[in-house]
Amino acid sequence: MKILLQFPEGLKQEALKHAKELEKDGHEVFISASPTFGACDLALDEARGIKADKLIHFGHAEFHNVDFPVEYVHYPIDAPLCLLESSLEQLKPYRTISIVTTVQHIHQLDNIRKFYEENGKNVIIGKPFGFAKAPGQILGCDIGSAASVDKEVDAHVYFGGGMFHPLGALLQTSKPFFAIEPFENKMARIDGLRDTYKKRSRGKIMGSLEARNFGILVSTKNGQHNMNLAKVLKKKIEGQGLNAEILVANTFDFDSINNMLEFDALVNTACPRIGIDDIDRTRKPLLSANELMEVLRIKAELILSKK
């Protein structure tokens, strides 16, 4: 069998080992050298290009169905739980908490819940919106496990590495939010960042009020492609007498996009995190669909006020 292997950045050091194991079983193996941002970013073009029989994608759970044979290897990681004990002091004021984590630590969620319940906490595990597959699991684009229970809890607790995942959940919830980083042995309360990102969003909106030419970003990645939304937004923009064009790419190179000087603002329809994490890489405002609609609403009100 001809197999293409795909690894996220944190697991690329494991590529050679897995390739050799499969070759010993008689398979013809190739390794994708492209970056990947999750199961929404499968190396399907590469797999079809080499006429592979199967793609093996490491480190993520299934995102949605695709018309190509894909095997998902979740790669669970046992993170140390020793920080849970010291977290109790910061969580003391909060009776009911939610716990969220990534697919790498989902298998530890029951033990984490048991610990907090044994120490007097009422623990609620929320359900994802649909892209994530397990209760308590969050993705950069699916924070349902936190948002779905926000009204029921006093605080949220994220267990796992990095800020990418908890930041998305933080911005879609309203309660105190704590991040436990088990590998760096630290815990932080991060909900103060909400105001920072709200101000950034407002700044993008206000900075787009004079825009006349909009570039709408559409990704061809398997789980980020949203041409229908892009076309709807294009009509909304043009309906106000403004100009809009759809910009298509697999991975957006903002150095290249910045050379398109005629566009006054950009609108993201791909991974929702692009509009949060990459705004410093663009010379022009990078809006979400909701932010664009707010820009158009304010523009319309300004026009009416001048009549």
The whole-number pLDDT of residue 307 equals: 64
Taking residue 105's Cβ as centre, other Cβ atoms within 10 Å add up to 21
Q: Is 219 exposed, middle or buried (0-12, 13-18, 19+ CB in 10 A)?
A: buried
| 69-89 tens-digit pLDDT | 999 998 899 999 999 999 999
Residues comprising the chain, all counted? 307
The whole-number pLDDT of residue 188 equals: 96
Closest CA to 157 of 115, 116, 118, 100: 100
| 109-166 tens-digit pLDDT | 999 999 999 999 999 999 999 899 899 999 989 999 999 999 999 999 999 998 999 9
> Quick one: DSSP state of residue 108?
G
User: Where do we find the tokens 């993008």?
Assistant: 204
C-alpha 136/C-alpha 158 separation (Å) is: 9
pTM of the model: 0.90
Q: What is the DSSP string of 26-74?
A: T-EEEE--S---STTS--HHHHHHTT-SEEEEES----S--SS-EEEE-
Phi, psi of 169 (to 5 degrees): -70, -40
The whole-number pLDDT of residue 248 equals: 98
Sequence-distant (6+) residues with CB within 8 A of 11 are 58, 59, 75
C-alpha 176/C-alpha 191 separation (Å) is: 6
CA dist list (Å): 4 to 75, 104, 139, 222, 255: 17, 22, 24, 16, 30
Which pair of structure tokens corresponds to residue 25? 């079983």
Domains in the chain, CATH or no CATH each = 2-73 (3.40.50.11840), 83-191 (3.40.50.11850), 196-306 (3.40.50.11860)
C-alpha 266/C-alpha 74 separation (Å) is: 35
**Which residues of the chain fall below pLDDT 70?**
307
Closest CA to 43 of 12, 16, 22: 12
User: Where do we find the tokens 């229970």?
Assistant: 149
Sequence-distant (6+) residues with CB within 8 A of 180 are 83, 84, 87, 157, 158, 159, 160, 186, 187
The whole-number pLDDT of residue 277 equals: 86
- Confirm if 98 and 123 have CB atoms less than 8 A apart: yes
The angle, 0 to 180 degrees and rounded to 10, between the axes of the packed helices 193-206 and 164-171 is: 70
The whole-number pLDDT of residue 50 equals: 97
